[in-house]
Structure 1
Amino acid sequence: MLVRMAGYRPLPATWGLRAWWGSHHTSGAEILMRARRAPSNKAKGPTTQGSAFQRAFSGHNNFRNERRPTELDKKILLWTGRFKKKEDIPPLLSIQVITSAQNQLRIRICYIMMALTLLGCVAMVISGKQAAKREDTLLKINTEKKAKWRVEKQLELESAAGKTE
């Protein structure tokens, strides 16, 4: 049994999964404009219609797109070059400025990691070539290590046998 809620209107047939999936990307203002009120018995005069819209969209206070930068945000803004000094940073910044600075820092860190990875690869290639010149192979190193362990184990057994006698 399908229960209809008051004020419920079905979606148009052209709206499919994409409309539902993209609904979480809408801003607060778009959500309020799309919202539909349930019909009421109150008389709607010219003052009641406009006042609800004015309250919902009175401006800056309801849909604030700014926030106070934290200390880490301030450091990121300085590192990315958005501001020269810490004193130049205003008390409220738009979220777009903060996220773009964070993205710039993230990209710089990725570039540094890529450079370090390349340096590490070059260092491994150079050390491998030097080891090949010295004829140091993993097989040779492992056989020497196991021979050393056998000698140590043999000495331990001999010393243990000498103490019991």
Structure 2
Amino acid sequence: MLGRLLGHSPGLWQRVAGLVLCPTRAAGSKAKNTQDTALQTAHPGKEPFRNERRPTNFDKKVLVWSGRFKKEEDIPRHISSEVLDSARNIARIKVCYIMIALTVLGCVTMIISGKEAAKKDQTLLRVNAEKKAKWRAEVEKGQEAAVGKSQ
């Protein structure tokens, strides 16, 4: 029956259906608007701080390092959370780039040291064989000393 009253207009149907199906959502938005106007009439010179916050020392360093502000003294007393989020994202990306560079540098260092060890014929198999031969020699000396004391 409601469909016949509204006809084939989808925009009107969505508006009416939204009010009928979700009456609390419509009332909540009206209450929020009246609360905002009440705050603005109570303090006409000041806007209510919705998403603004006072930055900490670490936040100030992130804002400067991300290039949002030149110096810590330039940072205002209150900043919006969007500004802080974007500065954190920029700092996060810079840290990732630094870590990528350090990983590549570490890989290149390991390749160079591995090639130098191969030139000196210091392979892992040779080093392990030398260690095991040394241990066997120590065990044999210990056994000879034990046999010599018992006789």
Task: Please indicate, yes or no, whether the TM-score normalized by the shorter chain is above 0.5.
Answer: yes
Partner of 1:43: none
Q: What residue ranges of structure 2 are gaps of 5+ in the alignment?
A: 1-18, 41-46
Counterpart CA distance in 2 for 1:161 and 1:8 is 100
Residue 9 (structure 1) aligns with:
21
Displacement, 1:108?
0.8
State TM-score, norm by structure 1.
0.62
Answering whether residue 29 of structure 2 is matched by residue 36 of structure 1, we say no
- The correspondence of residues 113-132 of structure 1 with structure 2, limited to 5 A, is 113-132=99-118
CA RMSD of aligned residues (A): 3.0
The residue aligned with 2:56 is: 70
State the partner residue of 1:136: 122
CA distances 1:78-133 after superposition (whole Å, capped 9, x unpaired): 22222222222111101111111111111111111111111111111111111111
- Structure possessing the higher relative contact order (Cα contacts under 8 Å, 6 or more residues apart): 1
Using the alignment, how far apart are the partners of 1:163 and 1:111 within structure 2? 66
Q: How many residues align?
A: 124
Q: Tell me, yes or no, if structure 1 residue 56 matches structure 2 residue 35.
A: yes
How far apart are the structure 2 equivalents of 1:90 and 1:162? 86
Question: What TM-score do the two structures reach when normalised by structure 2?
Answer: 0.67
Identical residues among aligned pairs (%): 53
Q: Secondary structure at the match of 2:77?
A: coil
- How far apart, CA to CA, are the structure 2 residues paired with 1:74 and 1:82? 10
Residues 68/160 of structure 1: CA separation in 2 closer, same or farther (3 Å cut): farther
Looking at secondary structure, tell me which structure has more helix per residue.
Answer: 2
Task: Tell me the distance in 2 between the aligned counterparts of 1:143 and 1:136.
Answer: 11
